[in-house]
Amino acid sequence: MKHRWHPKGRSPGRVLVKLIAMAGMIASLAFPVFAQDGTGPVPANAQPRSYGGGWNCDLGYRIDGADCIAIDIPEHAYASARSYGAGWQCLRGYKESGGTSCKAIPVPANAFLQSSGYDWQCERGYRQDRDSCVLIVLPDHAFLTESTGGTGWTCDRGFTVDAGACVPIAVPENGYLTNSDYGDGWRCERGFVEVAGRCDAVLLPANALLDTDTYGPGWRCERGYERQDRSCVAIKLPENAHYDRSGNRWTCDPGFQLTDGVCALER
């Protein structure tokens, strides 16, 4: 029985694999494959990239294989330079509808389109009430605000809102008006403290000073003294201790701990 001769060290399978690989290389040279990322020959409606290799589709076109195809831009829209999304955006004063069209933003009477172009705002002197702008009726002693919500007005200095009107603020003797929108609208002068709607003089005990805090008796003890009832008593500072930040209490030095009223070494 005769046997076919094969080149030494080569099997038919290996020869076939090499032939297929060579055929693939030849085909790739004769028929180039166009990538999906803007590489290869520059097609119509495209421009070479200003840096690196490849190309980009012109404005109003999107990549499709090796080509640039026109984007279907709806009415009241323009082509965007974004490489993602629909490839278009609605004009100012319009909003996207269903991803296929642009509808006008309805602007009610006495309103204007905001600078963003996506919403509207009432003119000064009007306030928003759902989808319309209604006239603001100013009470006496009030003025318009820039706020887009609420009543659209606030009271003059010295007046406060009461049942939709501006009524005078009753400032007691030794008190003054504040510009706060909260509270009574007044505070007591320095050296006086509020008591039942009036400003009484602060009774300052020895070793104390006036305190501007709106709460409390209107005074606090000097450093080295602590408050007991309505007086300031000297603090007996034990050894290995120091006054805290307030100056009216003390704490043990580092490395010491409070034990039976004294500062003892930590163990």
Question: For residue 20, what are the domain limits?
Answer: 16-70
Q: Which two tokens stand for residue 198?
A: 């009036």
Q: How confident is the model at residue 53 (pLDDT cuts 50, 70, 90)?
A: confident
Beta bridge partners of 120: 113
Higher pLDDT pick, 181 / 157: 157
Provide the 3-class DSSP secondary structure of residue 18. helix
Q: How far, in whole angstroms, is CA 106 from its chain's centroid?
A: 28
In a domain, 60, yes or no: yes
Alpha carbon distance 116, 131 (integer Å) = 18
Q: What is the largest CA-CA distance in the chain?
A: 134
**Within 13 Å, how many C-alpha atoms sit on residue 25's CB side?**
6
Give the range among 7-21, 74-88, 137-151 with minimum mean pLDDT: 7-21
Is 252 contained in some domain? no
195 within domain boundaries? no
- Give the whole-angstrom CA distance, residue 56 versus residue 41: 11
pLDDT at position 23, please?
47
| pLDDT of 183 | 85
**102-128 confidence digits (pLDDT tens):** 999 999 999 999 999 989 999 999 999
Q: What is the rounded distance in angstroms from the CA atom of residue 264 to the CA atom of residue 233? A: 25
Which residue from 185, 139, 132, 181 is spatially nearest to 158, judged by alpha carbons?
185
> How many structural domains is the chain composed of?
1
Q: What percent of the chain has pLDDT over 70?
A: 85
Please give the average per-residue pLDDT across 51-62, as a whole number: 92
Question: How buried is residue 87: exposed, middle or buried, by Cβ count under 10 Å (0-12/13-18/19+)?
Answer: buried
pLDDT of 19 > 90? The answer is no
Report if residue 24 sits inside a domain: yes
- 83 in any annotated domain: no
Contacts of range 153-156, beta carbons closer than 8 Å, 24 or more positions apart: 154/181
Residue 115 falls inside a structural domain: no
What is the spatial distance between Cα 67 and Cα 46, in angstroms, rounded to a whole number?
8
Whether residue 158 lies inside any domain: the answer is no
- % of the chain beyond a pLDDT of 90: 72
Q: Is residue 23 part of a domain?
A: yes
Q: Average of pLDDT values for 215-230?
A: 92
Strand positions, DSSP E, 185-255:
186-188, 192-195, 198-201, 208-210, 219-221, 225-228, 231-234, 241-243, 250-252
Q: Count Cβ atoms below 10 Å from residue 8 Cβ, excluding itself.
A: 5
Has residue 234 got a pLDDT over 80?
yes
